[in-house]
Amino acid sequence: MASAPTTDVSDRTNLSIDRSAAASRPVTAVDRRLAAAVQRTIADGPVRLELWDGRRADGAPDRAAGDLLVGDRRALIGLAVNANLYFGEAYIAGRIRIRGSLTEVILALSRSSAANPSRWERATAFVARANDVTAARRNVEHHYDLGNDFYSLWLDPDMVYTCAYYADEAMSLDEAQKAKLDLVCRKLQLRPDETVVEAGCGWGALALHMAREYGVRVRAFNLSGEQLRWARARARREGLDSRVEFIEDDYRNVAGQCDAFVSVGMLEHVGRRSYAALADVLRRTVKRSGGRGLLHFIGRDVPRPLNPWIRRRIFPGAYVPALAEVARDVVAPADMSVVDVENLRLHYARTLAHWSERFAAARERVRAQSGEEFCRTWELYLAGSEAAFRTGWMQLFQVVFAPRESTPPFFTRAPLYSGRGARQ
Amino acid sequence: MASAPTTDVSDRTNLSIDRSAAASRPVTAVDRRLAAAVQRTIADGPVRLELWDGRRADGAPDRAAGDLLVGDRRALIGLAVNANLYFGEAYIAGRIRIRGSLTEVILALSRSSAANPSRWERATAFVARANDVTAARRNVEHHYDLGNDFYSLWLDPDMVYTCAYYADEAMSLDEAQKAKLDLVCRKLQLRPDETVVEAGCGWGALALHMAREYGVRVRAFNLSGEQLRWARARARREGLDSRVEFIEDDYRNVAGQCDAFVSVGMLEHVGRRSYAALADVLRRTVKRSGGRGLLHFIGRDVPRPLNPWIRRRIFPGAYVPALAEVARDVVAPADMSVVDVENLRLHYARTLAHWSERFAAARERVRAQSGEEFCRTWELYLAGSEAAFRTGWMQLFQVVFAPRESTPPFFTRAPLYSGRGARQ
């Protein structure tokens, strides 16, 4: 759920200048005034602007989380005119560099934004963009040419590309992804031989966990043939292929009913206009008696349209919803009641930090395969996403629901956390 | 949260006929056809209509959850024409009686309604009405002439008039109310010497629990002088009057800030038009750094206006919101994020069952003080409310929220349920 391809941020011809010439161009008084103006827009954020002559902008604070190194005049003008538009592309091109932690710098800019929304809304919008990209990525065919090998370099061994659950704050990524899979199963209170439909199964980790640990039968839907080949091979290796059916199809084509419906990291790609269709699927698929479901998705506090750049370039129709929209437009029209909602945004921040660490460890291999710009793109998106979840710009909701007249899957939550009732 | 006054259901002059004359009036062929028609509207619901001659309506099932005994022709016509309007009032007047469990009969009618909404929407709307009344009750001055003595006959000793929390299904009402108070405190992660604002404190049980068990300082708002006298006397007896300030005022007049804001069973009375005002209070009152809040309220899956009869007679402005409305119109405009939502509707059903039991045990005393009709009114409302929560017509939500940029009160829920972290 966090990433972006290089191909979609490559339209920066209007930024293309000869870098060595730019870097050697002396800093003028006008440049310094511009730099001071950009520094002022950072307000109290502890980030310092530094120009290509190595000097800080006037007004830069003494202490800072990090420095924005502006490599040339064009990048400076871009920041001054519309940081929202130019920061990301200039960063990826290496025309803006960071001294210190990329995440901390983005975080500082985001917090500045929270304090001064009128000024910083635009300047930190790339943070939102980062997440929108990540949210939108998965369904987009042409991103999958990155391939399973690329993701396996930095995801956990189960290839789970969604927010993990750190039941214990010291957990590793691998442990936390397994803990997430199990938390989802416990919230659904799965019982042996029940039937489950999973919409958007990625590399199949959850489907296989449900079948292996809870003895259920799963129909798992995905549009990516490459992910499914990986998932099917794993199912065969583990002897679970008789219990898990991986289906290369739109989940909306699901036939029949199920005891439990689950979707982790897919709702972001459904798009607002398709919520009614999703509600229809839930209404006709989830058994009215004893059925239940879980949606795990990136959300927001306040509805807002997806950044137009993302909608156009990355994924037409993607949308990160507010919790209220999901309750009103998906759960309620399915004649379901919301049973339980958990906001795991800080778990996603930690997941992203772990992905960044692992990405850094694999950087030389990624760079050898795909180049420096590709690395910088991913680093920016991972760091930007982490900042977005840390600042509360983005939320991560798990929503459990059940048919209105049906008994909800649990009477209290205690069994979900004590181990009692986890396996029935 | 569950009750209704007699005074507000007394407008049944159009039903007033001479009962003894009616009862002695022979059942005609037209009566029997009408009765069969009403029986058909019950469809598959296992409730039998029985007329005043002791004979069942044609089409009545052999097995049933209970019998509706129709005492006279006017009641029969009322049921046939508009059960929604006449059932409750005829029941209270004793012109319709129930053989078997009132709750089970109402439940059966509700379930029939779910299966045949077009027919049964009206006929079981009294269930919704019952809850709307209960939801609306507390702020209405003239209901409080019922007095503390009346409620003390059947509430728990702490006088908690909201949904309890049955941490263990075998808990008594008293234990479950204490468990609820503590669950609220744990969700808020209260720490010694923090400050809490409680909006709508009833008889003060939560405020006193927070101060006694968690060492916080509480400002508790309530408009009912009689409840506050009771609460203040208890605070003095327990030596908590220096830590808990009971304030006879609208909570919107609260000044200053607090670490935690809590409101249990008040949102139903706020009314949709005042959500913006509530959001304003939250925004200016809850500390942006480390602050958090909890709203506990009766909710619905789908927004719908309050029954006009209730709005006019019982409480102008009361409204039972959908979760989506609270998220969108209260939490988001306060610049808060939803952290956690729990639906406790089955706990409210059990609370109401316990209240009904205790009411039955106190019936003779209530009857001696207030009469048969008063007893029947309360019995109907308690039973109707229980049915509404059991069928999912009504929900009970606890919503935890925190300022967007602030660290949420807990990283995982496990400490809320294991005892770890409950007292810090």
Calpha distance B65→B104 (Å, rounded): 6
Q: Does B407 contact A169 at a Cβ distance shorter than 8 Å?
A: no
A292 has pLDDT over 90? yes
Digit-coded pLDDT (tens) for B8-55? 223 333 333 344 555 568 999 999 999 998 898 876 668 999 999 999
More confident residue, A303 or A222: A222
SS3 B227: helix
pLDDT reported for residue A87? 82
The whole-angstrom distance between A158's CA and the closest CA on chain B is: 23
User: What confidence score (pLDDT) does residue A198 get?
Assistant: 98
Comparing CA positions, the residue from B149, B324, B143 lying closest to residue B223 is B143
What does the DSSP 8-state code read for residue B250? Answer: -
ipTM score over 0.90, yes or no:
no
Task: Name the phi and psi angles at A45, rounded to 5.
Answer: -65, 130
Q: Which of A22-26, A97-101, B98-102, B104-108 has the lowest mean pLDDT?
A: A22-26
According to the model, what pLDDT value does residue A244 have?
A: 98
Cβ-based neighbour number of residue B304 at 10 Å? 12
Angle between the B372-391 and B125-137 helix axes, to the nearest 10 degrees?
A: 110
Taking the CA atoms of A165, A407, B181 and B232 in sequence, report the sign of the dihedral they define: positive
Choose from B116, B120, B323, B351 for mutation: most chain A CBs within 10 A: B323
User: If we measure between CA atoms, which residue out of B231, B295, B284, B276 comes closest to residue B258?
Assistant: B284
Which H or E run includes A287? none
Give B44 to chain A, closest Cα distance, Å: 16
What are the tens digits of pLDDT across the range B175-210?
999 999 999 999 999 999 999 999 999 999 999 999
Please list the helix, strand and coil fractions of chain A in percent, rounded to the nearest 5, in that order. Answer: 50, 15, 35
Q: Pick the more confident residue, A43 or A411.
A: A411
Residues 6+ apart with CB under 8 A from A373: A6, A92, A93, A94
For residue A86, the model assigns a pLDDT of 78
With CB atoms and an 8 Å threshold, state whether A301 touches B336.
yes
Report CB contact under 8 Å: A404, B392. Answer: yes
For residue B27, the model assigns a pLDDT of 93
Helix ranges, A138-224 (H): 147-152, 173-188, 205-214
- Give the pLDDT of residue B23: 55
Q: What is the maximal distance between C-alpha atoms in chain A?
A: 74
Q: Does this chain's domain B22-116 share its CATH topology with B133-417?
A: no
> Of A105-119, A378-392, B338-352, which gets the smallest average pLDDT?
A105-119
Query: For A83-125, what is each residue's pLDDT tens digit?
Result: 766 788 888 889 999 999 898 888 887 776 544 443 334 333 4
- CA B353-B356-B357 angle, to 5 degrees, is 90
Q: Residue B65 has what pLDDT?
A: 87
pLDDT, tens digit (0-9, with 9 covering 90-100), for B305-342:
655 544 554 445 678 899 999 999 999 999 999 999 99
- Domain limits of chain B? 22-116, 133-417
pLDDT higher than 90, residue A378: no
The architecture in CATH of the region B133-417 reads: 3-Layer(aba) Sandwich (3.40)
Phi-psi region of A94 (alpha: psi -120 to 50; beta: other; left: phi over 0): left
- Where residue B131 falls among pLDDT bands split at 50, 70, 90? very low
Domain made up of A22-116: CATH architecture: 2-Layer Sandwich (3.30)
Q: For B232-249, what is the mean pLDDT? A: 97
| pLDDT > 90: percent of chain B | 61
Residues of B with CB under 8 A from a CB of A: 111, 114, 165-167, 169, 301-302, 322-325, 327-328, 331-332, 335-343, 345-347, 391-393, 395, 397, 404-408, 411-414, 416-418
Cβ distance of B324 and A332 shorter than 8 Å: yes
